[in-house]
Structures are given as structure tokens and as C-alpha cells.
Structure 1
């Protein structure tokens, strides 16, 4: 008897499951339904389509051999029956039937199934504020909206835009609007930093500076309280602090799992909305599977379930579903949560837990910050890459790695290596010995991730005492907050001179590292010395020497000036 498989959702996980099961079980009757007319597209490519990096929307729906992934493609190339513009209304689990509705005719019918797959994806969160329904207010929900946004810009209807939300999608959209089209773009973020809860403050501040340098206006710690309109069209966004004129508003305030049909059918759904599945991607009903942005999956670091709406994971989950539909035992064990993104000339990425997440999970979490060269320091194309490693002091387990650098391969190479290691429960010691392919055009002999682990090792064993960048910036903004601190600049005298001239010798001491051993007794005994160099490595060596000489009133500013000049500050000389 022919196995009847019905799949709800045609963007990522659904098509992957459909094609996989047909390869393993060609005789199966597979039906893919979706309420949209466009299916199987790369949603993560939408900002690059709007920016013009991807010239035509059809490229997001095409295979690598340039065949459009439409209804004809799936039916003729893959043997999968496709029902577009068709909405799944409800599931009768006892009868194994799915009630559907043709959105064109309004006709309803039932589909029998032996196995059902829910790949219903996610939906954007819409802020419950006045004006959210105005013409010109968009979420990045599907390809149709992306096409409409680009069409309005191309026709000269958009001179000013406001992006609400400083997460990855918000930043990507701000770049897309500004870079190619020259739209005057403002970005509003409710929290006091970009990528909140995901990226540590110092790396987030670097991204903020780069966006501002690229003509994106950033407003942190502000919430959109109203979207103002005239004649039914958007004209501005109001916050408690200001009014920003706008012809276009992008609401990028996060996404939620679309799991209503699963909940109504009595399937197990988490409090936050994600469908709960086992390692074979089965729901609480063994005849129903789920995958993609509608599910929660195990976090390989915490052991708990979490929400990770990434296209890469959706495809992996879809393949596992296809295997199990065909009777091939296959599991998806979970993920650590990895992302990377570009903005103009830089990129930023992370894998695993942020410091905030780690502490919320009960880890004794701390972090290291380094700023070495991404390639051999003598190689002409070397760039600084700033790296954060989050770790647990009790167990020495590495919990997360983040990096910020130039728009090349420097960040992705380190994040990908770290993600693989994190999934296996790697410790600081594992990272200190992690083998990375070495040649001067590609990396340094001591790679960035090794260097981050060395600093973490010193911190974990209390050989290094640090001051964080946030603490340092707070002090530099107001010296009265820490009146007994003084900076000890161990760089070359010419590098330190502008700081000494601006802040005075009572706040900034210049003593190059090759003079410390003969002059350390001149250092004040009643002050806490903040040891300052370009990257932090020389500062640590000076700390070790000073401690050995009995001068223990000191702390190291890890990352040093390499980090500061990428963050920027009004107090920089």
C-alpha cells in the first residue's frame, strides 16, 4: 500500500523533508502544501535582495543549476505533489486527516495521511503600538513583502526609513536601505546595545560605531511608541525622545513559532510556542513530525530546549524527518546556536551562549577579550579580529565564542571551528590545543581562538586580573566613579603622549614596557593601575612582573587600544 505523506509548509524544512523521503522511498505519495504562492526560497537572502547584492528575487528561489524551485519543479523533477495558496486549517489525529482550504475558491476538503509533517515556520512579532497597520509599515515575513519594499525604493518613493529593532535582521535591513539606495536610515533599539543578549557589549559597540560611520543613525535605549501616518500612509515614528520622519518602516522585533495548528490538535507545545519534538523530530503524536522554525530543539550546551530559527538548522531537521518517514533511523541531536552576519565592511558572529545567557543558566560564567591579528602579523593583508570567549570557571567548559572583524573569512573560520568544538563539550584546554590550518596568508601561528583560550585559562586560574571594557568606559566618562584609578600606558611614548596631554599625568602615566623593570618603584602606591597597551598581551606580562615585585594594585584592560579604537569614544584624543 502506498504511504501517504502530507507536509505543511513549503519554505525550507518542508521541501527538504519531501525531497529526501522521495529519494529514499520513491513509491511514497508526498503532498506539499503552502498558503503562499512562492515556495522554497532562501529567506535569509531577503536583505541582500533588497540591497541589490542579489539582483533578482528568482535567484532566491533557484537551484544551483538555475532551475526555479516552483510547483512545476517539485512535481516534475522531484515527484512531489504541490498545493500552493492552500491553508491547513486543522488536524483530526484520530482519523489521520488534515482539513485544508483553497484560498482562491474558498473550498475546503480533507487530506488523508499516514504521516504528517508540520513545517509551518515562524511569524514576525508586530509591536502592539498605534499605526502598526499603516501603509508603508513592513515586517520581513516573506518574499512578497521584500519585492514590495524593493519596488517602492526603486521607484523613488522612499527617502527616509526607520528600522525598529537592533537584532540581526534589523541591522541587515539598515545596511540594505543605506548602502545601495542611499536611503536616510534610522535604527531604533529598545535595549542599550545592538544584538542584545546575543553579543557582548564591546563587540556590539564596534558594530554600532561602524553603522554610524556608514551613515546609519542609531538610537539605543529607545522604544517606538507610535507610528504616525497621514492619509493612511506612514510619515514618522515617535519615541519618547524624538520623532523620526519616515516613508518606510521596517519592524524587525523578532519572530515567533507558528504552532497554532499543532496546539489546537493537542500536540505538545512549549510555553513560548515552539512545537516539542524528540531527536527523530517526532511530535507527541508519533505519526506527526515537525521541523524548522516552528519547533524547539535541544541546546547542546545547557541540555535544555531552545528556539533556533535558522535556515541551516531547518534544512538539517528536514533531512532527518525525511529519513524517519522512510524508516531510516536518524536523529537530530540539537545545536549550540550559531550565527554570522555582515554590515557594510565588517562582520560579526557568535556561537553558543552569551555571558548573559550563561549566567541566567546558572553557570559561573566569565569571559576573555582578545584583539590579535587574524593572519601572521607581518602579512600585508592582516586585520585585527576581536574575539570573546565565554567560559565556566568551575568546570573550565567553554560556553560561547564571539568575534568581530573585517568582511572576509576571519570571523567565519573561527566561529565555525568553535561551533564544532562546543557541540562536543570542549573545555578551555581543548581550545588552547585546537589545531587550525596555518600559513601566513590565512592565520597566525597562534590562532585567534587559541589566544582567546590562553587568556581564559589565565583568568580561570586567577593569574590574570582584568577590568572589562564597560567598566573602563564608565570610568573614562566620569573619573569620579573610581577616583583611585590611574591608567598605566605601556605602549611607546609617542602613542601614549596624546592621552597624557589630554588627561594629565594624574590620570594617565606613560611608562613603556621596556622601562617598567627599572622604573616601577616610581608608580603610585595609593592608586589602582589600569595597565593599557594595544591588545592586552603586554599588559598581562607587566602585571605578572609587578605582582612579583609586590606591586599588586593593578588590573589589565584586555583588548586594549585595538578594541577601543573600534568602539570609539568622545574622549579619545
Structure 2
């Protein structure tokens, strides 16, 4: 029996659900409505449109075979009716009627449905500060708004910009304006690190340094107090003073759009998202929901989670479309996976960071490894910096984060772990993970295997480590004479540092340690240093055997130090 499906929202989940259902029930009627004028676009591509990497907004709205996904396309190619610039105002659940208003004419009406889909998405937060509504203050909430930002920049009206928020969108926007347009850009973040709760402070500071070297300025741990200007933004006031600005981007998170659902009496969580089961049904079995407006299970913590990501919305859309046609598809939840490009660097994560793991009640630790993404003898290679978060007692892997170049090497490693996180893997699973091997692509002992091994050594108490931030602190207090900094590399690597800091930096290569053991003091803390942490670990094992237990292996070695802010 044919039915009428009405979908509210036509950006990500809505079109996917509509097309999937229409393939399964071509004789049924599907109506999508959206309050915007542009539909079915790749919202995550907005920063790249603003930067100029994507030259035309139509590219974000086009199929891979260059057809524009507008109302005409859905009608003629998919058999789906689309009503743009139309807002849903109420749901009559008993009468199965959606009330709408045409935003162009003001005409009100109703659409009868057999089943309803809410793909209402999210709305960007706006800081409740004076000046937030001034012209020139944007939130990057839609493609329409992105077009206005791009026009303002292209017309030469923007020389200085302020981005509020150092999450993924904020950093992408900072890169977009600074890189290709040469706009003097400052990011203001209330937390003390970029990408808070996503990566560790160590990785965050490395990524921040890279962005600073690329021309972006930062004010960390700082609040925006007000935005000023005569009709149009002119300056942003923080605790550090005034920042001149011709444009401001607020990137301080989003909140689910649930007004329609709440007013209809559907169950909404304490977080403020629509509650759905694994079939993506709301508390009304005739109404489905998905995308940025819903809460789904966190497959690591077992608690409700919220991830406003287009990738999840598309996959949920297929589940919804299948179930509208009587299927039994399920969306079990997510572990939370993320990747962002920051100039020539990529930052990625999956699962829990160390701080979030501990906040969720896990007795967690992390280990940090730096290694080439390919065989060390292959001429084209680059370093990957990976951090693994594990639970102490069970050795369960809770998350992985990393930085690397903007190639696919980092994404491949993060993705490999992301795929198994829901199965509660342990460090042994990472140590022994089977990965394709060929020198142009990876190492025989891949960096992921090395990461798992390092985690096991840490948990076994065989590797007493020091992070680069602690190393930085001890180095800055080196004059107190309590620490012995021992370079375990060959003389060619250590020479420059020994000559620059002869009183503090000592060269004892790992392969010479047995015959030079008398040079190692027993009454000081010993920091062991090599390029990545491998030879220094070998030195630590030997020193343990010789009775030296006050040793600390610098995780990531000099490769990590060189990414750290400041100059050694």
C-alpha cells in the first residue's frame, strides 16, 4: 500500500532518507520541506568554499556527476517533492498532520502524512554578549550565510577577523581566512587549549603552534566580553584588550533544533536532543528523527552521546529510509570520530581523550608514540604522532588521537582503531593488529603496533615516561641541578645541544651506555632523550637492570620537542 512520507529538513539526513525510501517504495509519495532556499548541500565543506578551495557554492550542492541537487533535481530525478523556504510550525500527531507556513507569502497550510521524519538539525550558539547581533557577526550556520561571508571577503571589506571558539569549525574558518585571503585572524578560546575534550593538551599545543607559524594568532583561556561597532562590527573586547575586526565568526557549538518535537510532546533528553531508539524512531512510532537533532548511544561509555556530524546523519538517513518502508535496520550508536585539516597538518581522533575518559570514570592512562608513516628506509616518509588512551585494569582501548601531515597516513591509522572501538579492544589487539604492509605505505611493525606495544610496556611498569610538557617544565628549571638530561642518540644528533648547553645536556649514546655507566649520576632524576623514544627506552631497560630506577623516558623524543612551542 502506498503511503505519504513527509520529511522536515532537507540538508543531510532528509535527502538520504527520502531517496532510500523512494527506491524501496517507488509508488509512495515523499515530500521534503526546508525553511532554507538551498538544500542537500555538504555543510562540512563551507570553510573550503569560504577559503576559495571550492570556488562555487553549487559545488557543495552537486552530485559527483555534476547535477545540482535542487528542488527540480529531486522532483525529476528522484520523484520527490520539495518545498523550500517553508517552515514547519506544528505537528498534529493525532490527526497526522504537519502544519507549515510559506515564508515567501506567509500562507499557512497543512500536509497529511502516514509517517513523519524530523531532520531539523541544529542551530549555532550565539554568545549572549553586547554586539552579538551587529552586522558582520556570523555563525556559519548555513550555505546561505557562507555565501554572505564569502561575498564580504571577496569585496575587500575584511582585513582583520576574529574567530570565537577553537573547535573544528573555528579552526577551519581561521585557516580559510588566513591562508588564501591573507586576513589577519585571531582565535579567542575560553578553554586553555584548542580542540578541547577532543585531543590531549600535548597534541593541541603542537597543532596550535603549527597554526601560529602559519599566521593565525590565539588568545587562550580568554572570554569575549563584547563586540563593538557603529552598526557594523569594528572591534572585539576580551580580557586582554580590544581586537580590531571587520568580521567575527562565532563558532561556539550548536544546540539541537527540537522546538517542533518538544511542542508535539515527543520525548526530549536532558541534553535537549530528541530521544530515539536504534531504529531511529521517536517516542511516537510514526515519527522518525536523526542527524543533529537527536541523541544516540556512545558505544564506549554506554551513555547518551551527541555528535552533530554530516557523516552520521547520512548513515542514519539510510536506516530511517529503510524502516519507513517496513525494514528492521538499526543504528547502534557511535564512538565519535573526527579529523580536521589545519594548513599542512591534520588532526584526528576517535573515542575518548584522556581527560574525557577520566571524567567518565575510567581509570585511564595514555601513551604517546612518534614513528614514520612508511618504512624508515623509504625516501618519501613523514612522522606520525599518535596517542592511545587505555583503561589500566582491563587494558581496554578507549580512544586514539594523533597529528600528521595532510596525507592519508594519519586518517588510515585512526580509522583502523575507530572500526574496532565498539568491540572493546585491548592493547593486545592494537599490538597485533594486521595492517597491509609495503614500504611505500607502511612499516613492517606499523606505528599502530608500536603504539600498542608502548601502552603495554607502560601498563607493565617497564616504561616510565615523561610527556613533553613535563620535559619543558623540568628543562626550564634545569639550574636547580636536580635533573640529568641524557641524550641517547649518536654524537651527530646530540652535538649541537651539548655545545649549546654544556652544563646540562649530556651525550651518552645508548650503544655506549654499558662502558660509560659511571658517567650516569645516581642522585638525580634522569631524563632519557632520543629522536622518538625508542633508543631511550632501551637505555631505560638497561639502567633498570643496573639499579637506576629514577629514569624518565621522554615520550616522542626530540620529534615531540620540535613540535612544542618555544625553541630548545
Relative to the length of structure 2, the TM-score reads 0.98
Q: CA deviation at 1:503?
A: 4.1
Instruction: Note the alpha carbon deviations across 1:221-280, whole angstroms, 9 max, x for none.
Output: 1121111112x0101111101211111111111111111111111111111111111110
Q: Within the alignment, does 1:215 sit opposite 2:231 as a pair?
A: no
> Which residue number corresponds to residue 493 of structure 1?
491
In structure 2, what is the equivalent of residue 161 of structure 1? 161
SS at match of 1:285: coil
**Residue 357 of structure 2: aligned partner:** 358
- Find out whether 1:529 has 2:526 as its counterpart: yes
Aligned to 2:224: 224
Alignment of 1:424-463 (within 5 A): 424-463=423-462
Answer yes or no: is 1:29 the counterpart of 2:29. Answer: yes
Q: Are 1:558 and 2:555 matched, yes or no?
A: yes
CA apart distance, 1:200 = 0.9
Secondary structure of 2:371's aligned partner: coil
Q: Distance in 2 between matches of 1:216 and 1:566?
A: 16
Structure 2 unmatched ranges of 5 or more: none
Instruction: Report the alpha carbon displacement of residue 478 of structure 1 after superposing the two structures with TM.
Output: 3.8
Question: Deviation per CA, 1:283-310, whole angstroms, max 9, x where unpaired?
Answer: 1111111010111111111111100111
Q: 1:545: which partner in 2? A: 542
User: 8 Å contact 2:91–2:98 — kept in the other structure?
Assistant: yes
Distance (Å, rounded) in 2 between the aligned partners of 1:364 and 1:59: 46
Structure 1 residue ranges without an equivalent (≥5): none
Secondary structure in 2 matching 1:556? strand
SS in structure 2 of the partner of residue 518 of structure 1: coil
Residue number in structure 2 paired with 1:335: 334
1:394 maps to 393
What is the aligned partner in structure 2 of residue 58 from structure 1?
Answer: 58
| TM-score normalised by the chain length of structure 1 | 0.97
Quickly say closer, same or farther: Cα 1:457–1:48, change in 2 above 3 A: same
Tell me the equivalent position of 1:74: 74
Q: Is the 8 A contact 2:235 2:245 kept in 1?
A: yes
How far apart, in 1, do the equivalents of 2:473 and 2:297 lie? 38
Query: Could you say which residue in structure 2 is the equivalent of 1:18?
Result: 18
**Map of 2:87 onto structure 1:** 87
> What is the CA–CA distance in structure 1 between the aligned matches of 2:89 and 2:194, rounded to whole Å?
38
Q: CA deviation at 1:413?
A: 0.7
Q: Confirm whether residue 568 of structure 1 aligns to residue 565 of structure 2.
A: yes
**Further displaced range: 467-476 or 382-391:** 467-476
TM-aligned CA deviation for residue 383 of structure 1: 0.4
1:473-527 C-alpha deviation (Å, 9 max, x unpaired): 22233447x863332211223433343344443x332211121111123211111
Find the aligned partners of 2:73 and 2:386 in 1 and give their Cα distance: 44
Structure 1 equivalent of residue 421 of structure 2: 422
Q: Does residue 477 in structure 1 map to residue 476 in structure 2?
A: yes
Task: Give the root-mean-square deviation of aligned CA atoms.
Answer: 1.3
Task: State how far apart, in whole Å, the 1-side matches of 2:346 and 2:363 are.
Answer: 29
- Structure 1 residue 185: Cα displacement: 1.0
Match of residue 203 from structure 1:
203
How many aligned residue pairs are there? 568
